[in-house]
Amino acid sequence: MVAPPPPHVGNYRLLRTIGKGNFAKVKLARHVLTGKEVAVKIIDKTQLNSSSLQKCPRPNVPIPMTMSPCPQAENLLLDADANIKIADFGFSNEFSRGSKLDTFCGSPPYAAPELFQGKKYDGPEVDIWSLGVILYTLVSGSLPFDGQNLKELRERVLRGKYRIPFYMSTDCENLLKKFLILNPTKRGTLEQIMKDRWMNVGHEDDELKPYMEPVPDYKDPRRTELMVSMGYTREEIQESLVGQKYNEVMATYLLLDHKSSEVGTLGTLLFSKFTSKFVRSWLRFTWSMKTTSSLEPGEMLREIRKVLDANSCRCEPQERFVLLCAHGAPGHDSFVQWEMEVCKLPRLSLNGVRFKRIAGTSMAFKNIASKVANELKL
């Protein structure tokens, strides 16, 4: 039996599903005229109310896929140079300075407290919170606020308490504290954050500056001639580009850009320079084999207690899978107190061990935490 041909949406041949959301699927597709692979977001309008429909300006917008998704944050993409691009603006609000917004937009784990409270809010302030969630996720491999359901997630966001992993640098922790502040008026601004020490580490002579969108080249004769050979007229090409119509004609022109690593051509990737510096600076960390296991949490706790005892550490249970640990004498420079928690890792069928410093210097904490982590046999 001959397999049916892949379905099409306009000039895009749909290949396979690469992501799913509450109201949409993202398909890997190929633009048949240029051969370029793109991501096409297909939104089920029957699932949307009238308010949501107004915030979904153009379904099925193709985004060039010359990059691969990050493993934990699905709406972040990496290009060939490891620059991060923000790729999902399926439901978004237009913000005018001086006016407040009042509708819930965005994915709940990235949503600021004021959204969960149903308050009117300022666009930049909730975006700062979301950037803080992204930073935490990039550094730790997990979300700062999570829950089994929306009610549990809301409660944790409104408490504003999150764990600082033992491997996170003090500078990175201080930057997070500028992002994840419950009071929106006290959060850092993008300008302040771009001057932050951690954001510019290793690039002190090239301080992060606001990104300026380059002037697009709408008069490339090479691309125009290619499109004419495809059947487009010069008039409709020029009309689409000058009028910024973002229709099929303009999409084809943009997909023919010879700069294969530039994915900002559709105007949806707003923080290219900012996120480029982000990825240059972030502490590269993944859960190591030393702190992850398929063992049951109870077995992991027994191994943790055994290693703590071997290193003259004291511990007492705080919650079911949380231990309060201490090493050294109180009042001494080497004294450190921390929490160890056995928890399920997001989207992985493994359990992990999280460390959180409570008291003591960062260096003393890192020394004992690293020693304990390295000796665990999980």
The pair of structure tokens assigned to 302 is 């027994």
36 is in an annotated binding site: no
Rg over alpha carbons for the chain, rounded to the nearest Å, is 24
The pair of structure tokens assigned to 348 is 């992985």
Alpha helices per DSSP H over the chain: 50-54, 113-116, 123-140, 150-159, 170-179, 190-194, 221-230, 234-242, 248-255, 272-281, 297-310, 362-375
The pair of structure tokens assigned to 18 is 């690469």
For the four alpha carbons of 213, 203, 260 and 12, in that order, the dihedral sign comes to negative
Query: Which residue is it, tokens 């300075």?
Result: 97
Q: Give the C-alpha separation, 271 to 212, whole Å.
A: 9
Q: How far is CA 248 from CA 5, 97, 236, in A?
A: 22, 32, 11
Q: How far is CA 15 from CA 2, 25, 65, in A?
A: 17, 12, 13
> Which class for 225: exposed (0-12), middle (13-18), buried (19 or more C-beta within 10 A)?
exposed
Residue 113's contacts (CB-CB under 8 Å, 6 or more residues apart) are: 129, 157, 158, 160, 182, 184
Q: Find how far residue 203's CA is from the centre of its chain.
A: 23
Closest CA to 89 of 111, 114, 57, 67: 57
67 contacts 57 by C-beta, under 8 angstroms = no
Q: Which residues are annotated as a binding site for ATP?
A: 41
Q: Which residues are annotated as a binding site?
A: 41
